[in-house]
C-alpha cells in the first residue's frame, strides 16, 4: 500500500496550520474526503442536477440511476439480504430516531430498554424519548474497570427480558470494540429487538449485518470518507416494514386524498421529502474508494499505528489513557495529568495538531470515568507514522509548558 499516493488523494491534508503541516487526528469526528468523492458530487451538480424518482427527463433519469445504484452498493457493502432494507437518512442520529420513533406502538408500560453505557448521545436520547412516550424503563449496561462492556452484568440484565437492546459497535471515545455478534445472539434468546450503532466501526472493519444478525444497524457517510448529511439505516425487512414513519409528506406516499393517505412500500416509505441526492452519490464514491483499497493491509496498518500511538503516549509520562487495549479501533482517549483537556487541545492546535476535546457526546461515559472530559486522537486510512511523531513532539512541548 503506497500511503504517500493514498494521502495525495485527500486535498485537505496538504494544508498547513499555524505554519505547521496539518496533522489531522480527528477522524472519529469526521473523516477527510478523497478527491473522487468531491468529484462525484461536483459532477452531479454540474451535469445531472435534478430531483430523483419524479420526472421523465434525462437529468432526472441519470440522477435516479446514480442514486439507486448506491443503494445496491450498500446492500453488498454490508451484506444486507435485499436492497429494500437500505434506508437513506441524514446521519446515524436520524437513523436511530427513525427506529425509536417507529417502535412507539410496539412498546408498553414497564418494558425494558438496555443501552450500552459507553454509547454516543445519539444512541441514548432517542430511547429516552421513546421511554417517555411509552412508560418504558431504561437501564445502562455497565462497563468493567478496564472500560469494556461487562458481559456478566449484561447476562444478568437479560434475565429481565428487555424489549430493546441498543449497542455501540465501537466506542466513539475509547475505540473499544464490542463483541456485537455474541451480544446480539444473547439478546435474541430473550426476544429483544437489537440495534447496533456502527458509526465508528464502518470505516475500520468489514461489516456483515447477516453475521451480526442484528435487527437494525446504523452509520454515517462522513465517518467513512464520504460527505456529511448522509447516513444509512439497515433494518431486517419485516421489522423495518413495521415501523411507523418518523416523517411524512412527499416521496413516501402511494396515494393521497383528503379522505386519507396510503404510504408507499419500503424503502420509499421511510424516505420522506427530497433526499440528499448529491450526498448519496458522494457516499457511493466513498464506497468505491474503500473497496479499491487492500483491506487486510489497511486494517493491519491502522492497528499497528494505533498501538504505536498508545505506546508513544504512555512513554511521555504524566499521560492517562482510558480503555486503551491492543484490539481497539481508531481512537485513543487521554488526559495530560490534571490539566484541562481544552487547554491541551488549544496548545496542540497552535502546533498544527487537530484532536477532539470535551465529552465527545458521551456524557454518561465521562461520568462513569469521573471526568469532565478528555482529549481524543483518532486515525484514519491516511494517517501515517509522521502524524503520530509530530503529535507526540507537540505533546512533549505542551507537557513542558503546563507541568
Q: Indicate if 151 and 277 belong to the same structural domain.
A: yes
Q: Is residue 76 part of a domain?
A: yes
> Given 147, 361, 374, 375, which residue is catalytic?
361
Q: Are residues 158 and 207 in the same domain?
A: yes
Please give the grid coordinates belonging to residue 313.
503516549
Q: How, if at all, do strands 331-336 and 319-322 pair? A: antiparallel
- pLDDT for the residue numbered 54: 80
Least confident of 131-135, 260-264, 345-349, 386-390: 260-264
> Annotated catalytic, 361?
yes
Co-location of 204 and 343 in the same domain: no
Question: How many structural domains compose the chain?
Answer: 2
User: For position 144, what pLDDT does the model report?
Assistant: 97
Distance CA 224, CA 31 (A): 6
| Range 44-62 average pLDDT | 94
Residues 162 and 212 in one domain: yes
Any domain includes 244: yes
Clarify whether residues 7 and 79 are in a common domain. no
Q: How far apart are CA 244 and CA 225, in angstroms?
A: 31
208 and 70 together in one domain: yes
- The stretches of 103-179 forming alpha helices (DSSP H) are 125-134, 151-158
Q: Check whether residue 114 and residue 16 sit in a common domain.
A: no
Q: What is the pLDDT of residue 367?
A: 97
Kindly state whether residue 33 falls inside one of the protein's structural domains: no
Q: Give the whole-angstrom CA distance, residue 175 versus residue 204.
A: 11
| Domain extent for 260 | 38-291
Residue ending a domain, choose from 270, 291, 312 = 291
Q: What is the mean pLDDT of the chain?
A: 97
pTM for this predicted structure:
0.97
What pLDDT band is residue 199 in, cutting at 50, 70 and 90? very high
Report pLDDT digits (tens) over 381-395: 999 999 999 999 999
pLDDT at 278: 98
Residues 6+ apart with CB under 8 A from 211: 79, 181
- The answer to whether residue 223 sits within a structural domain is yes
Band of residue 56 on the pLDDT scale cut at 50, 70, 90: confident
Q: Are residues 246 and 334 in the same domain?
A: no
Sign of the alpha-carbon torsion through 379, 328, 396, 348? positive
**Would you say residue 123 lies in a domain?**
yes
In tens, the pLDDT along 85-115 reads: 999 999 999 999 999 999 999 999 999 999 9
Query: Is residue 155 located within the same domain as residue 218?
Result: yes
pLDDT at 1 over 80: no
Within its chain, how far is the Cα of 249 from the centroid? 28
Are residues 266 and 299 both part of a single domain?
no
The radius of gyration computed from the CA coordinates of the chain, to the nearest angstrom, equals 22
Residue 81 maps to a domain: yes
User: Domain boundary residue among 291, 322, 342?
Assistant: 291
- CA-to-CA separations, 124 to 8, 66, 131, 197, in angstroms, rounded: 38, 34, 11, 11
- Across the range 232-258, mean pLDDT stands at 95
pLDDT, mean of residues 23-46? 98
Give the domain-ending residue among 259, 275, 291: 291
CATH number at residue 354: 3.90.1150.10
At 98 the pLDDT is: 98
Whether 156 maps to a domain, the answer reads yes
CA angle 6, 7, 10 (to 5 degrees): 105
Do 287 and 301 share a structural domain? no
Q: Does 63 map to a domain?
A: yes
- 59 and 100 both lie in a single domain: yes
Whichever domain contains 99, its CATH number is 3.40.640.10
Model confidence at 14: pLDDT above 90 = yes
Q: What mean pLDDT comes out for the span 148-163? A: 98
Q: What angle do CA 270, 273, 275 make, to 5 degrees?
A: 85
Does residue 10 sit in helix, strand or coil? coil
- Regarding beta strands 216-220 and 23-24, do their DSSP bridges make them parallel or antiparallel, or are they unpaired? unpaired
Q: State yes or no: pLDDT of 251 exceeds 90.
A: no
Amino acid at each position: 500500500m503506497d500511503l504517500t499516493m493514498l494521502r495525495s488523494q485527500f486535498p485537505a491534508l496538504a494544508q498547513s496550520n499555524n505554519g505547521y503541516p496539518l496533522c489531522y487526528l480527528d477522524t472519529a469526528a469526521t473523516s477527510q474526503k478523497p478527491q473522487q468523492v468531491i468529484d462525484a458530487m461536483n459532477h452531479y451538480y454540474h451535469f445531472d442536477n435534478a430531483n430523483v424518482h419524479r420526472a421523465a427527463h434525462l437529468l432526472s433519469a441519470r440522477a435516479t440511476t446514480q442514486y439507486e445504484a448506491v443503494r445496491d452498493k450498500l446492500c453488498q457493502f454490508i451484506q444486507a439480504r435485499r436492497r429494500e432494507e437500505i434506508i437513506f437518512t441524514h446521519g446515524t442520529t436520524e437513523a436511530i430516531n427513525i427506529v425509536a420513533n417507529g417502535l412507539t406502538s410496539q412498546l408498553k408500560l414497564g418494558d425494558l430498554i438496555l443501552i450500552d453505557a459507553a454509547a454516543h448521545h445519539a444512541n441514548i436520547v432517542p430511547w429516552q424519548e421513546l421511554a417517555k412516550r411509552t412508560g418504558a424503563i431504561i437501564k445502562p449496561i455497565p462497563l468493567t474497570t478496564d472500560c469494556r462492556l461487562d458481559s456478566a452484568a449484561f447476562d444478568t440484565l437479560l434475565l429481565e427480558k428487555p424489549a430493546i437492546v441498543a449497542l455501540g459497535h465501537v466506542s466513539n471515545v475509547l475505540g473499544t470494540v464490542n463483541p456485537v455478534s455474541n451480544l446480539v445472539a444473547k439478546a435474541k434468546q430473550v426476544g429483544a429487538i437489537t440495534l447496533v450503532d456502527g458509526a465508528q466501526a464502518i470505516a475500520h472493519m468489514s461489516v456483515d449485518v447477516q453475521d451480526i444478525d442484528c435487527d437494525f444497524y446504523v452509520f454515517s457517510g462522513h465517518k467513512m470518507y464520504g460527505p456529511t448529511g448522509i447516513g444509512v439505516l439497515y433494518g431486517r425487512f419485516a421489522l423495518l416494514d413495521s415501523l411507523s414513519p418518523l416523517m411524512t409528506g412527499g416521496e413516501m406516499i402511494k396515494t393521497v386524498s383528503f379522505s386519507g393517505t396510503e404510504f408507499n412500500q419500503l424503502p420509499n416509505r421511510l424516505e420522506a421529502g427530497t433526499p440528499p441526492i448529491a450526498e448519496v452519490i458522494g457516499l457511493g464514491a466513498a464506497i468505491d474508494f474503500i473497496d479499491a483499497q487492500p483491506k487486510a493491509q489497511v486494517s493491519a496498518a491502522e492497528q499497528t499505528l494505533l498501538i504505536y500511538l498508545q505506546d508513544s503516549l504512555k512513554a511521555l509520562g504524566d499521560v492517562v489513557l482510558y480503555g486503551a487495549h491492543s484490539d481497539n479501533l481508531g481512537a485513543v482517549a487521554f488526559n495530560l495529568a490534571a490539566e484541562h483537556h481544552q487547554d491541551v487541545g488549544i496548545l496542540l492546535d497552535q502546533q498544527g495538531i487537530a484532536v477532539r476535546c470535551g465529552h465527545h457526546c458521551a456524557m454518561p461515559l465521562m461520568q462513569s470515568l469521573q471526568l469532565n472530559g478528555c482529549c481524543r486522537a483518532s486515525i484514519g486510512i491516511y494517517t501515517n507514522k509522521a502524524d503520530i511523531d509530530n503529535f507526540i513532539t507537540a505533546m512533549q512541548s505542551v507537557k513542558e509548558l503546563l507541568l
